[in-house]
């Protein structure tokens, strides 16, 4: 049995920041990951590769506007297999970087390839192809992440998930002519917009009457209205089955669903389950007395601790905020609390985590938005700035969208914000700093945001309240 100060189950965003921090302080740390590499699902099949594909599409879109910019050039097209090669190269580059980072701390930190399961509160068994090893760990971080949710429907096995689309060295290197996307969560809607821009015939089939049900209703409807009208939205439906159909030596799929009581069938070359992700719980977690909530998620406190103080559950696995940067911050909260012998000294502020939906156009938000504020009984004051009046948006001719800020009406401190349109994913960074620090509307109104950048709107919106 090997003894370590910290063991992480998973070497993704919820695991490795704490592992590095604690190893750098001289403690003995192991990260167990069945992939045998660092950075989890985000780099292998999630945020990084999907955004690499998105950025290639963004460039392609810009190229279509070349005449607007006064540029010349004909026959500028794309080769989807080359876009995939580009995506793979970005992933490989980052894997090489992580390998170097691991080397730098190799005295105290080891990454072990294998599958981890709990034997008891301190002992974790690691199984790989040819061996089993037991580790006795003073502290444990469960950071086993999440996997795509598979709807239990007839023919589900014919669907792909975002994993097959974006995974390193994916076999899907040609673009289908048509795709049906089941579910209008952020994964489904993002992918719908990428494929639509590349000329694929896209249909989204969604059970609810609106898209992005996890997001503030008014903001989600702004996003829904901003989507290209070529994307077909079938809302308020129930999926019945997916069938594989042989055609001319190949095959495609029939997706059957009901809408307003009527059975409909749509045919497509590819069907994507885009329902989002569900936590992956390591074997044995339920046997060692760890508490789960009513939704079957590991229960944690604000210090990311489970009910067993030396065992933490950080990142996607706790299901509270399934984003890499949230996992990263949660992991550091764990590290700080481990340094304090598991007496909490650091806490996660989930309100200070920005979220971006990387659709065309991008949409980002953070903090408390109106729907939630109403539930919490907070009166809000709001102000907005339309990009139509923005110098940078005018230069790019991307005039749609807005920045909107929400203040507690009693204190005039900012509690939330959203941005849809140009640079949304960057602007939310400044706004989240304001939210995290509860900045007063007068401070935000006095920010000398740079001209001509899209951030000017942050201060200009606030000035409308003064
Ligand atoms: P997060 O961002 O929350 O850290 P990720 O999904 O990116 O989550 O990473 C989780 C990692 O945990 C994945 O690389 C996965 O292979 C690994 N993993 C999940 N369960 C186990 C397990 N039981 N043993 C070892 N590794 C695991």
- Nearest atom, ligand 1, residue 41 CA: 7
Q: pLDDT tens, 370-382? A: 999 999 999 999 9
pLDDT at 276: 87
- Nearest atom, ligand 1, residue 115 CA: 24
Q: pLDDT tens, 187-207? A: 999 999 999 999 999 999 999
Does residue 462 carry a pLDDT above 90? Answer: yes
Does residue 302 carry a pLDDT above 90? Answer: yes
> Is 107 domain-assigned?
yes
Q: Are residues 334 and 366 located together in one domain of the fold? A: no
Q: Are residues 136 and 63 located together in one domain of the fold? A: yes
pLDDT at 235: 98
Q: Calculate how far, in angstroms, residue 163's C-alpha sits from the geometric centre of ligand 1.
A: 14
| Ligand 1 in reach of 14 Cβ (< 6 A) | yes
pLDDT at 122: 98
> Is 355 domain-assigned?
no
| Last residue in a domain, options 275, 310, 337 | 275
Q: pLDDT tens, 351-371? A: 999 999 999 999 999 999 999
Q: What percent of the chain has pLDDT over 90?
A: 97
* Mean pLDDT value of segment 214-227: 97
Q: Are residues 28 and 106 located together in one domain of the fold? A: yes
* Mean pLDDT value of segment 31-53: 97
Q: Is 165 helix (H, G, I), strand (E, B) or coil?
A: helix
Give me the CATH number covering residue 374.
3.30.390.30
Q: Which domain holds residue 186?
A: 156-275
> Is 195 domain-assigned?
yes
Q: Are residues 143 and 167 located together in one domain of the fold? A: no
Taking the C-alpha atoms of residue 405 and residue 441, their distance in angstroms, rounded to an integer, is 9
Nearest CA among 216, 165, 150, 219 for reference residue 50:
165
| Ligand 1 in reach of 324 Cβ (< 6 A) | yes
Q: Are residues 11 and 143 located together in one domain of the fold? A: yes
Confidence of residue 247 (pLDDT cuts 50, 70, 90): confident
Q: Are residues 271 and 287 located together in one domain of the fold? A: no
> Is 283 domain-assigned?
yes
Q: What percent of the chain has pLDDT over 70?
A: 100
Preceding peptide of 361 cis, ω within 30°: yes
Confidence of residue 145 (pLDDT cuts 50, 70, 90): very high
pLDDT at 296: 85
- Nearest atom, ligand 1, residue 331 CA: 4
Q: What is the mean pLDDT of the chain?
A: 97
Confidence of residue 182 (pLDDT cuts 50, 70, 90): very high
Does residue 248 carry a pLDDT above 90? Answer: no
Q: Calculate how far, in angstroms, residue 412's C-alpha sits from the geometric centre of ligand 1.
A: 41
| Ligand 1 in reach of 146 Cβ (< 6 A) | yes
Nearest CA among 290, 9, 243, 255 for reference residue 124:
9
Taking the C-alpha atoms of residue 128 and residue 37, their distance in angstroms, rounded to an integer, is 14
| Ligand 1 in reach of 15 Cβ (< 6 A) | yes
> Is 356 domain-assigned?
no
- Nearest atom, ligand 1, residue 126 CA: 24
| Ligand 1 in reach of 7 Cβ (< 6 A) | no
| Ligand 1 in reach of 328 Cβ (< 6 A) | no
> Is 210 domain-assigned?
yes
pLDDT at 75: 86
Q: 188-203: string of b/e by CB count within 10 Å (b at 16+)?
A: bbbbbbbbbbbebbbb
| Ligand 1 in reach of 10 Cβ (< 6 A) | yes
Q: Are residues 143 and 9 located together in one domain of the fold? A: yes
> Is 282 domain-assigned?
yes
Confidence of residue 34 (pLDDT cuts 50, 70, 90): very high
pTM of the model: 0.96
Q: Is 201 helix (H, G, I), strand (E, B) or coil?
A: strand
Confidence of residue 92 (pLDDT cuts 50, 70, 90): very high
Q: Are residues 70 and 118 located together in one domain of the fold? A: yes
Q: Are residues 346 and 411 located together in one domain of the fold? A: no
Write the DSSP string, 10-71: --STTTHHHHHHHHHTT--EEEEETTSSSSHHHHHHSHHHHHHHHHHHHHHHHHHTTTTTT-
300 to 19, 188, 284, 287, 324: CA distances (angstroms): 19, 29, 17, 17, 18
Does residue 180 carry a pLDDT above 90? Answer: yes
| Last residue in a domain, options 246, 275, 304 | 275
| Last residue in a domain, options 275, 305, 336 | 275
Q: Are residues 142 and 129 located together in one domain of the fold? A: yes
- Nearest atom, ligand 1, residue 324 CA: 2
pLDDT at 69: 97
Taking the C-alpha atoms of residue 316 and residue 333, their distance in angstroms, rounded to an integer, is 15
How many domains in the chain?
3
Does residue 124 carry a pLDDT above 90? Answer: yes
| Ligand 1 in reach of 140 Cβ (< 6 A) | no
* Mean pLDDT value of segment 66-94: 96
Task: Name the residue of 40, 127, 297 whose CB sits within 8 Å of the most ligand 1 atoms, as the mutation to test its pocket.
Answer: 40
Taking the C-alpha atoms of residue 137 and residue 15, their distance in angstroms, rounded to an integer, is 15
| Ligand 1 in reach of 415 Cβ (< 6 A) | no
Q: Are residues 288 and 235 located together in one domain of the fold? A: no
* Mean pLDDT value of segment 121-149: 96
> Is 160 domain-assigned?
yes
pLDDT at 204: 98
Does residue 44 carry a pLDDT above 90? Answer: yes
pLDDT at 187: 94
Confidence of residue 295 (pLDDT cuts 50, 70, 90): confident
Q: Is 219 helix (H, G, I), strand (E, B) or coil?
A: helix
Confidence of residue 130 (pLDDT cuts 50, 70, 90): confident
Q: Calculate how far, in angstroms, residue 33's C-alpha sits from the geometric centre of ligand 1.
A: 6
Q: Are residues 255 and 380 located together in one domain of the fold? A: no
Give me the CATH number covering residue 268.
3.50.50.60
Report whether 204 contacts 147 (CB < 8 A): no
């Amino acid at each position: 049995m090997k003894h370590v100060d910290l063991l992480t189950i998973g070497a993704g965003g919820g695991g490795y920041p704490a592992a590095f921090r604690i190893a750098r302080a001289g403690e003995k740390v192991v990260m167990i990951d069945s992939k045998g590499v660092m950075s989890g699902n985000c780099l292998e099949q999630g945020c990084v590769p999907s955004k690499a594909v998105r950025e290639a599409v963004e460039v392609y879109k810009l190229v279509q506007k070349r005449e607007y910019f006064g540029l010349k050039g004909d026959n500028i097209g794309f080769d989807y297999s080359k876009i995939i090669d580009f995506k793979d190269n970005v992933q490989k580059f980052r894997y090489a970087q992580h390998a170097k980072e691991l080397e730098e701390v190799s005295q105290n930190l080891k990454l072990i390839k294998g599958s981890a399961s709990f034997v008891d509160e301190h002992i974790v068994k690691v199984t790989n192809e040819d061996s089993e090893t037991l580790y006795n760990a003073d502290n444990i971080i469960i950071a086993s992440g999440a996997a795509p949710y598979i709807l239990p429907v007839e023919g589900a096995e014919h669907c792909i998930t975002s994993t097959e689309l974006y995974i390193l060295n994916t076999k899907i290197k040609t673009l289908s002519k048509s795709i049906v996307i089941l579910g209008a969560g952020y994964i489904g809607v993002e992918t719908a917009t990428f494929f639509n821009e590349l000329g694929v015939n896209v249909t989204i089939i969604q059970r609810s009457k609106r898209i992005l049900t996890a997001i503030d209703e008014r903001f989600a409807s702004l996003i829904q209205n901003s989507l290209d009208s070529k994307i077909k939205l079938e809302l308020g439906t129930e999926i019945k089955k997916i069938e594989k159909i042989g055609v001319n030596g190949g095959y495609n799929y029939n997706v059957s669903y009901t809408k307003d009581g009527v059975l409909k069938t749509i045919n497509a070359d590819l069907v994507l389950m885009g329902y989002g992700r569900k936590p992956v719980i390591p074997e044995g977690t339920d046997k060692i007395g760890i508490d789960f909530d009513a939704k079957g998620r590991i229960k944690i406190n604000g210090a990311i601790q489970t009910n067993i103080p030396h065992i933490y559950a950080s990142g996607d696995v706790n299901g509270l905020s399934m984003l890499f940067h949230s996992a990263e911050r949660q992991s550091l909260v764990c590290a700080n609390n481990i340094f304090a012998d598991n007496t909490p000294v650091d806490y996660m502020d989930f309100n200070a985590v920005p979220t971006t939906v990387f659709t065309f156009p991008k949409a980002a938000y953070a903090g408390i938005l109106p729907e939630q504020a109403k539930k919490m009984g907070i009166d809000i004051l709001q102000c907005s700035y339309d990009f139509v009046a923005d110098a940078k948006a005018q230069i790019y001719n991307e005039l749609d969208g807005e920045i909107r800020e929400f203040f507690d009406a009693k204190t005039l401190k900012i509690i939330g914000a959203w941005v849809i349109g140009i640079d949304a994913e960057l602007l939310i960074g400044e706004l989240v700093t304001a939210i995290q620090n509860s900045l007063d509307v007068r401070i935000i109104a006095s920010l000398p945001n740079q001209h001509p950048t899209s951030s000017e709107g942050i201060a200009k919106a606030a000035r409308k309240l003064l």
